[in-house]
Amino acid sequence: SISSLFCSGSRSSKTFKPKKNIPEGSHQYELLKHAEATLGSGNLRMAVMLPEGEDLNEWVAVNTVDFFNQINMLYGTITDFCTEESCPVMSAGPKYEYHWADGTNIKKPIKCSAPKYIDYLMTWVQDQLDDETLFPSKIGVPFPKNFMSVAKTILKRLFRVYAHIYHQHFDPVIQLQEEAHLNTSFKHFIFFVQEFNLIERRELAPLQELIEKLTSKDR
Protein backbone atom coordinates (compact mmCIF):
# COMPACT_ATOMS: atom_id res chain seq x y z
CA SER A 1 0.00 0.00 0.00
CA ILE A 2 1.03 3.60 -0.43
CA SER A 3 1.50 4.09 3.29
CA SER A 4 3.92 1.19 3.55
CA LEU A 5 6.00 2.88 0.88
CA PHE A 6 6.37 5.80 3.24
CA CYS A 7 7.49 3.63 6.11
CA SER A 8 10.13 1.53 4.39
CA GLY A 9 13.58 2.41 5.63
CA SER A 10 15.00 3.19 2.21
CA ARG A 11 12.77 6.23 1.79
CA SER A 12 13.64 9.61 3.09
CA SER A 13 10.99 10.24 5.71
CA LYS A 14 11.51 13.97 5.41
CA THR A 15 8.18 15.74 5.26
CA PHE A 16 7.89 19.32 4.21
CA LYS A 17 5.38 20.15 6.94
CA PRO A 18 4.41 18.14 10.03
CA LYS A 19 2.26 15.17 9.11
CA LYS A 20 -1.44 15.52 9.86
CA ASN A 21 -2.57 12.53 11.91
CA ILE A 22 -6.12 11.21 12.03
CA PRO A 23 -6.85 10.19 15.65
CA GLU A 24 -6.67 6.44 16.21
CA GLY A 25 -9.89 4.82 17.31
CA SER A 26 -11.98 7.43 15.50
CA HIS A 27 -14.39 6.59 12.70
CA GLN A 28 -12.19 8.58 10.32
CA TYR A 29 -9.26 6.36 11.27
CA GLU A 30 -11.37 3.30 10.35
CA LEU A 31 -12.16 4.93 7.01
CA LEU A 32 -8.46 5.61 6.42
CA LYS A 33 -7.69 1.95 7.15
CA HIS A 34 -10.45 0.94 4.71
CA ALA A 35 -8.92 3.22 2.06
CA GLU A 36 -5.47 1.72 2.61
CA ALA A 37 -6.83 -1.83 2.40
CA THR A 38 -8.65 -1.19 -0.88
CA LEU A 39 -5.59 0.59 -2.28
CA GLY A 40 -3.63 -2.56 -1.53
CA SER A 41 -5.84 -4.43 -3.98
CA GLY A 42 -4.31 -2.31 -6.73
CA ASN A 43 -7.66 -1.27 -8.22
CA LEU A 44 -7.59 2.49 -7.78
CA ARG A 45 -10.97 3.08 -9.44
CA MET A 46 -12.57 0.85 -6.82
CA ALA A 47 -10.46 2.24 -4.00
CA VAL A 48 -11.76 5.79 -4.38
CA MET A 49 -15.46 4.90 -4.39
CA LEU A 50 -17.57 5.96 -1.42
CA PRO A 51 -17.85 2.93 0.89
CA GLU A 52 -21.43 1.79 1.35
CA GLY A 53 -23.37 3.71 3.98
CA GLU A 54 -20.63 6.28 4.54
CA ASP A 55 -20.93 10.06 4.60
CA LEU A 56 -19.46 11.72 1.51
CA ASN A 57 -18.11 14.69 3.48
CA GLU A 58 -16.27 12.39 5.84
CA TRP A 59 -14.83 10.31 3.00
CA VAL A 60 -13.62 13.45 1.23
CA ALA A 61 -12.15 14.77 4.50
CA VAL A 62 -10.18 11.59 5.24
CA ASN A 63 -8.80 11.40 1.71
CA THR A 64 -7.93 15.10 1.63
CA VAL A 65 -5.84 14.66 4.79
CA ASP A 66 -4.21 11.60 3.23
CA PHE A 67 -3.34 13.46 0.01
CA PHE A 68 -1.92 16.35 2.04
CA ASN A 69 0.36 13.85 3.80
CA GLN A 70 1.38 12.16 0.55
CA ILE A 71 2.22 15.42 -1.22
CA ASN A 72 3.99 16.61 1.90
CA MET A 73 6.25 13.55 1.67
CA LEU A 74 6.79 13.76 -2.08
CA TYR A 75 7.66 17.45 -2.00
CA GLY A 76 9.80 16.85 1.09
CA THR A 77 12.07 14.56 -0.93
CA ILE A 78 12.83 17.23 -3.55
CA THR A 79 12.96 20.46 -1.51
CA ASP A 80 16.74 20.62 -2.06
CA PHE A 81 16.08 21.01 -5.78
CA CYS A 82 13.27 23.53 -5.49
CA THR A 83 14.97 26.79 -4.58
CA GLU A 84 14.57 30.54 -5.09
CA GLU A 85 17.25 30.25 -7.81
CA SER A 86 15.94 27.17 -9.62
CA CYS A 87 12.27 28.17 -9.40
CA PRO A 88 11.90 31.96 -9.16
CA VAL A 89 8.23 31.63 -10.14
CA MET A 90 5.67 28.98 -9.24
CA SER A 91 5.02 27.26 -12.53
CA ALA A 92 3.87 24.05 -14.14
CA GLY A 93 5.68 24.28 -17.46
CA PRO A 94 6.04 27.42 -19.59
CA LYS A 95 2.29 28.01 -20.07
CA TYR A 96 1.16 27.87 -16.43
CA GLU A 97 2.23 30.23 -13.68
CA TYR A 98 0.55 30.50 -10.29
CA HIS A 99 0.33 33.57 -8.06
CA TRP A 100 -0.58 33.17 -4.39
CA ALA A 101 -3.63 34.56 -2.63
CA ASP A 102 -5.57 33.01 0.23
CA GLY A 103 -8.41 35.53 0.35
CA THR A 104 -7.75 36.50 3.97
CA ASN A 105 -4.12 37.42 4.69
CA ILE A 106 -3.17 37.92 1.05
CA LYS A 107 -6.11 39.15 -0.97
CA LYS A 108 -4.35 40.33 -4.10
CA PRO A 109 -2.43 37.50 -5.81
CA ILE A 110 1.32 37.86 -5.40
CA LYS A 111 4.01 36.53 -7.68
CA CYS A 112 6.50 34.48 -5.68
CA SER A 113 9.05 31.71 -6.05
CA ALA A 114 7.89 28.10 -6.09
CA PRO A 115 9.31 27.24 -2.64
CA LYS A 116 7.63 30.31 -1.16
CA TYR A 117 4.34 29.55 -2.93
CA ILE A 118 4.36 25.92 -1.80
CA ASP A 119 5.15 27.02 1.74
CA TYR A 120 2.16 29.41 1.70
CA LEU A 121 -0.01 26.72 0.12
CA MET A 122 0.87 23.88 2.48
CA THR A 123 0.61 26.15 5.54
CA TRP A 124 -2.81 27.30 4.35
CA VAL A 125 -3.98 23.70 3.80
CA GLN A 126 -2.65 22.72 7.21
CA ASP A 127 -4.60 25.56 8.83
CA GLN A 128 -7.81 24.33 7.15
CA LEU A 129 -7.20 20.71 8.22
CA ASP A 130 -6.53 21.83 11.81
CA ASP A 131 -9.75 23.87 11.97
CA GLU A 132 -12.22 21.75 13.93
CA THR A 133 -15.16 23.71 12.56
CA LEU A 134 -14.14 22.73 9.00
CA PHE A 135 -12.64 19.28 9.58
CA PRO A 136 -14.35 17.99 12.72
CA SER A 137 -12.49 15.03 14.22
CA LYS A 138 -15.04 14.31 16.92
CA ILE A 139 -17.86 11.86 16.31
CA GLY A 140 -21.24 13.47 15.69
CA VAL A 141 -19.90 16.96 15.01
CA PRO A 142 -21.43 17.90 11.65
CA PHE A 143 -19.44 19.19 8.71
CA PRO A 144 -20.14 22.82 7.83
CA LYS A 145 -22.34 23.66 4.83
CA ASN A 146 -19.36 25.06 2.91
CA PHE A 147 -17.21 21.97 3.51
CA MET A 148 -17.26 20.74 -0.10
CA SER A 149 -16.26 24.10 -1.52
CA VAL A 150 -13.35 24.31 0.95
CA ALA A 151 -12.28 20.74 0.11
CA LYS A 152 -12.38 21.56 -3.61
CA THR A 153 -10.13 24.58 -3.08
CA ILE A 154 -7.68 22.50 -1.04
CA LEU A 155 -7.52 19.77 -3.70
CA LYS A 156 -7.20 22.30 -6.53
CA ARG A 157 -4.20 23.80 -4.75
CA LEU A 158 -2.62 20.47 -3.84
CA PHE A 159 -2.81 19.55 -7.53
CA ARG A 160 -0.50 22.49 -8.27
CA VAL A 161 2.25 20.92 -6.18
CA TYR A 162 2.03 17.71 -8.21
CA ALA A 163 2.04 19.80 -11.42
CA HIS A 164 5.14 21.71 -10.30
CA ILE A 165 6.99 18.51 -9.32
CA TYR A 166 6.20 16.83 -12.64
CA HIS A 167 7.11 19.82 -14.80
CA GLN A 168 10.11 21.22 -12.99
CA HIS A 169 11.61 18.43 -10.87
CA PHE A 170 11.02 15.16 -12.66
CA ASP A 171 14.78 14.47 -13.10
CA PRO A 172 15.52 14.38 -9.36
CA VAL A 173 12.38 12.28 -8.86
CA ILE A 174 13.87 9.70 -11.25
CA GLN A 175 17.31 9.95 -9.60
CA LEU A 176 15.73 9.35 -6.19
CA GLN A 177 13.77 6.39 -7.65
CA GLU A 178 10.54 8.06 -6.55
CA GLU A 179 8.91 7.91 -9.98
CA ALA A 180 6.61 4.91 -9.35
CA HIS A 181 5.66 6.35 -5.97
CA LEU A 182 4.83 9.76 -7.47
CA ASN A 183 2.82 8.20 -10.32
CA THR A 184 0.81 5.96 -7.97
CA SER A 185 0.07 8.84 -5.63
CA PHE A 186 -0.95 11.15 -8.46
CA LYS A 187 -3.07 8.50 -10.16
CA HIS A 188 -4.89 7.85 -6.87
CA PHE A 189 -5.44 11.61 -6.49
CA ILE A 190 -6.80 11.96 -10.05
CA PHE A 191 -9.15 9.00 -9.74
CA PHE A 192 -10.43 10.47 -6.50
CA VAL A 193 -11.11 13.96 -7.85
CA GLN A 194 -12.66 12.48 -11.01
CA GLU A 195 -14.94 10.16 -9.02
CA PHE A 196 -16.49 13.08 -7.10
CA ASN A 197 -15.94 15.82 -9.68
CA LEU A 198 -13.82 17.91 -7.31
CA ILE A 199 -11.47 19.81 -9.66
CA GLU A 200 -12.51 21.61 -12.82
CA ARG A 201 -11.02 20.28 -16.01
CA ARG A 202 -9.29 23.56 -16.88
CA GLU A 203 -7.40 23.44 -13.58
CA LEU A 204 -6.02 20.02 -14.56
CA ALA A 205 -4.76 21.28 -17.94
CA PRO A 206 -1.04 21.43 -17.02
CA LEU A 207 -0.99 17.63 -16.61
CA GLN A 208 -3.72 16.71 -19.09
CA GLU A 209 -1.52 14.42 -21.22
CA LEU A 210 -0.18 12.60 -18.20
CA ILE A 211 -3.70 12.23 -16.76
CA GLU A 212 -4.89 10.68 -20.02
CA LYS A 213 -1.92 8.32 -20.06
CA LEU A 214 -2.33 7.25 -16.43
CA THR A 215 -6.09 6.80 -16.58
CA SER A 216 -6.56 5.32 -20.07
CA LYS A 217 -5.35 1.89 -18.92
CA ASP A 218 -8.07 1.76 -16.26
CA ARG A 219 -11.23 2.76 -18.10
Cα–Cα distance measured from residue 57 to residue 184, given in angstroms and rounded to the nearest whole number: 24
| Residue 46 DSSP SS3 | helix
User: Which one-letter amino acid corresponds to residue 170?
Assistant: F
Residues sharing a CB contact under 8 Å with residue 49, sequence separation 6 or more, in sequence order:
195
Run of H or E including 98:
strand 97-98
Phi–psi pair at 44, nearest 5 degrees: -70, -30
- Ligand-binding site membership of 82 (annotated): yes
Run of H or E including 91:
strand 90-91
- Ligand-binding site membership of 169 (annotated): yes
Query: Which residue ranges make up the annotated binding site?
Result: 82, 87, 164, 169
Query: Which residue ranges make up the annotated binding site for Zn(2+)?
Result: 82, 87, 164, 169
